[in-house]
Amino acid sequence: MIVLKGEKSTMRERQLKLSGNIDGVGWSHTGWRHHDMPSNASESINHYVEKAKQLENGKFDTIFLADVSHIGPGMIPHYLSMFEGISILSALSMVTKFIGLTATIATSYADPFTVARQVASLDKISNGRAGWNAITSNPGGLANYSRSHLSKSDLYPMKKEFLEIVEGLWDSYEDDAFIRDKERGVFYDPRKMHPLHYTGKYFSVDGPLNVSRSRQGRPVIFQAGTSSDFMDIAAKHAEGIMAPGDNFEYLKGYTAELKRRVKDQGRSPDDLLMMPAQNPIVGETEKEALEKWREIESFMPLGHRLPKPRFIGSAENVAEQIEHWYQEGIMDIMLIRQEYPAGFEDFIKLVVPILQDKGIVRTEYDDQPTLRGNLELPYPENMHKQ
């Protein structure tokens, strides 16, 4: 059963949520060449700390880190040498207090017990601010994890098992299992510890997990994909969807179909948040924004063009576009990727105040935030609670 912990049964209208993807030197092949971009940004703790504080000052709801585990000469510079997500987010948890911390880990490569423990540990370290973007990734990376015997057809069945195991492990202890009564000498109630005993085609895990539940119950699960197999798994397990943001009409149809499948699973469609990725470039005027984009494009090799961002222009026009996507129900979270070095700074300075004046985004955090609280997602009761 899903309830809102400490909330009344009637839900207010959910505000638009903001997520910032810290992409190091940028998510193109040439963004690192900009004179304001530190050339080592993808492996600079100082750069990540600066951006994390910037996003928190801008009242963003979560940091979101993409990841890859299989690289080659054709990859973008950011992916060639970058931090592992849980490690860097654990560090960022010590210099932030309110913003969520979401890492990407591929179910095709990782081990479910290890991932459950890593993300649950981040959740406890950050006092309930952790999220996990569970992706399948490409089959090429299987060779890096001793899984070359598997094929693309294994990826989604393996992901299904992986998610079932991780969710089960996160419920290893009921919320009140740990008593810690020194006078009576009672540390915990063993009746509220629950082994998993999971046996599948790809994984066998006994459990229980040696991490108790956090203030938000479980970390928030994000997923990314568009296929029918993906949607079937996401409808049951996902709480946020990293979605393509380049086609408004496609996203409307995709959102409607995905939310239909969520309802078929007995869940409320409101408990699945759509998070299209965007690369907004804004200025005081349309001309200024276009000049910033052309500056980035100038680093492209001769004969190559940089795709024009969907949201580009004056702050007022970009804010209107954002409001439209939000009101249409296809953007519950706006995932912002920074290509222009001052992208976050410009958006926070110019666009966020307009969205705040419209009442669309938050003006302050809760006193004791969790990622679920930031996203206005329900608290998941432990599956073993009587």
Tens of pLDDT, residue by residue over 50-62, are 999 999 999 999 9
Cβ neighbourhood burial of 50 (10 Å; 0-12, 13-18, 19+): middle
Judge whether residue 48 has pLDDT over 70. Answer: yes
What 8-state DSSP symbol labels residue 271? G
Q: What is the CA angle 213-375-338, rounded to 5?
A: 115
Q: Mean pLDDT, to the nearest integer, of 77-83?
A: 93
Q: What is the pLDDT of residue 260?
A: 97
Q: How confident is the model at residue 11 (pLDDT cuts 50, 70, 90)?
A: very low
263: number of Cβ within 10 Å: 13
Cα–Cα distance between 358 and 185 in angstroms, integer?
A: 55
Q: Mean pLDDT, to the nearest integer, of 354-381?
A: 96
User: 49 vs 128, 213, 230, 350, CA distance in Å?
Assistant: 19, 27, 34, 22
Q: What is the pLDDT of residue 331?
A: 97
**Residue (of 86, 92, 89, 98) closest to 18 by Cα position:** 98
Decide if 87 contacts 45 (C-beta within 8 A). Answer: no
Model pTM? 0.93
Q: How confident is the model at residue 6 (pLDDT cuts 50, 70, 90)?
A: very low
Q: Mean pLDDT, to the nearest integer, of 21-40?
A: 92
The verdict on whether omega for the bond into residue 208 sits within 30 degrees of 0, i.e. cis, is yes
| Helix and strand numbers, DSSP H then E, in the chain | 12, 16
Decide if 102 contacts 22 (C-beta within 8 A). Answer: no
Cα–Cα distance between 348 and 57 in angstroms, integer?
A: 9
Q: How confident is the model at residue 142 (pLDDT cuts 50, 70, 90)?
A: confident
Handedness of CA 363, 281, 41, 87 (dihedral sign): positive
Judge whether residue 4 has pLDDT over 60. Answer: no
Decide if 268 contacts 236 (C-beta within 8 A). Answer: no
User: 280 vs 102, 133, 137, 308, 350, CA distance in Å?
Assistant: 21, 22, 26, 10, 11
182: number of Cβ within 10 Å: 8
Q: Which residues, including other chains, have CB under 8 Å from residue 217's CB and lie 6 or more apart?
A: 5, 175, 372, 379, 380, 381, 382
